[in-house]
Chains A and B, each alone.
Chain A
Amino acid sequence: MNDLLEVLRQAITLLLERDSATWEITRLSLYVSGAALGLSTVAGLPLGALLALRSFRGRRLLVALIYTGMGLPPVAVGLCVYLLLSRSGPLGDLEWLFTPQAMILAQTIISLPVVAGLTMTSIQGADPALRVQLRALGASPLQVTMALLWEVRSGVLVALIAGFGAIISEVGAVMLVGGNIAGSTRVLTTAIVLETRKGQFDLALALTFVLLALTFAINMGTLLLQQRLTRR
């Protein structure tokens, strides 16, 4: 118990230290995972809706791919993105390797299937007759999609939370494509790995605490939002 309190104290001290790198690391974690979630949302909501509402050739294959993607090991994604971005890789000219862009790309690939897949199942869970009803009221296909997304907003929120959870806590991909470079690509998870390896358990625990507190706060906020959205 005392140990835990000590960790807590240290975590707070770390954050309060002005020139502490912890802020920088936390900020980058949020930036990378936030940007990746943003991209996944922009692409994943329409993709999920498309898969739930339209039938087209290759739909089943795409769904199978998404389901596979939902359980993809981050380190595998990291390796693929690494090869893609390495000097001799097809996207080597971008010179993204060991930059935040590379980390965002890798995390987008990890969270997109989660967001799209869970959005799809949410919409599929809505009453199919509702689509017909909305259409009868004069909704264009886009308007039908928007109304359905709003109708299943709880599920969509869960999709976003799950997508975020999959990347904020992920270490394999960011480690490979980011390289854990201090001051430029070091995020919470990679810093924790590093400090643990160095035997700096106090620091590692403090960083872990920050990570947990962060995810807790975000999940709590989402829960409150969910309640607001579905109240009445």
Chain B
Amino acid sequence: MLRNVSKRYGKRTVLHIDRLTIHAGRTLAILGPSGAGKSTLLRLLNFLETPDTGQIEYDGRLIVHGRLPLTTLREVTTVFQRPLLLDTTVWQNVAYGLRLRGRVEREAVVAALQQVGLDRLDRVSARILSGGEAQRVALARALVIKPRVLLLDEPTANLDPANVTIIEEVIQRLRREGTTIVIVTHHLFQARRLADDVALLMDGALIEAGSGEQIFQQPRDPRTAAFIEGRMVY
């Protein structure tokens, strides 16, 4: 849960959210035009940046930055907009999160690679992967640590339909397994397919948040209506 959270870069406030609750075990889609602050919000949710004002409460506990327990940090992970892999093999990349936690389970790595359809590339260098493959490795790398909360920043942007399907299937499986998911997307249909709840960000402000049904069928804010009807040019 976020309360009065804001984030500034220099003098510019790029995000200000009065209140946003992310429900455990549900999937929240964050929609909004480019530059709205979606990625910034995910960084705050993953405790990677300190908000300039306000409070972030996680699992009923107030997050105090600088005194964040590693165990809490390790319950949340992000698949970033731009997949950044380590300069080593695909296998090592996927195993990395487990190594950090001191437990490399071969089967877990294999399973994660299989889920994204890359088990045959496990010994290949991450450097030579195509964009879609790299994106899937990044997802596998997050899956393998079985996070309680998974944050996905446009996980299917710039991917072909086949890759989109693979990634969406993985997300659906995680949903069924009860993982809390926050997914940033530009695709309204993807939000409809995958999300229980939807939030709309614009210019760093939360315009509207609610269940998917409510947002898509009875948007309260005229800007939301405009956005989902595609009348919003961005």
Contact = CB atoms under 8 A, between A and B. Distances in A.
Contacts, number: 50
Interface in B68-82: 70, 73-74, 76-78, 80, 82
Interface in B125-140: 125, 127
The CB with the most chain B CB atoms within 10 A, among A137, A139, A140, A143, is that of A137
A147 to B, nearest CB: 7
A169 B197 CA distance: 67
B167 interface: no
Interface in B114-155: 124-125, 127, 141-142, 145
A130 B88 CA distance: 14
Given A135-B73, A136-B77, A232 B82 contact: no
Contact of B82 (A129, A139, A143, A147): A129
A138 B74 contact: yes
Contacts of A230: 87
A128 to B, nearest CB: 10
A137 B101 CA distance: 10
B101 A138 contact: yes
B86 interface: yes
A143 B76 CA distance: 17
A135 B151 CA distance: 14
Nearest to B93: A137
A130 B80 contact: no
B84 A130 contact: yes
Nearest to B138: A133
A151 interface: yes
A45 B78 CA distance: 29
A137 B96 contact: yes
Interface residues of A, number: 17
A134 to B, nearest CB: 8
B100 interface: yes
A133 to B, nearest CB: 5
Interface in B165-179: none
B145 A138 contact: yes
Given A127-B84, A151-B86, A232-B127, 13 more contacts: A130-B84, A132-B48, A133-B78, A136-B46, A136-B76, A136-B80, A137-B77, A137-B141, A137-B142, A138-B74, A140-B70, A147-B86, A232-B89
Interface of A: 127, 129-130, 132-133, 135-140, 143, 147, 150-151, 230, 232
Pick the 6 closest A-B CB pairs, nearest first: A138-B74, A232-B125, A136-B78, A137-B97, A133-B84, A136-B46
26 contacts: A127-B84, A129-B80, A129-B82, A129-B84, A130-B84, A130-B86, A132-B80, A133-B80, A133-B84, A135-B73, A136-B78, A137-B96, A137-B97, A137-B141, A137-B142, A138-B73, A138-B101, A139-B100, A140-B100, A143-B100, A147-B96, A150-B86, A151-B86, A151-B87, A232-B88, A232-B124
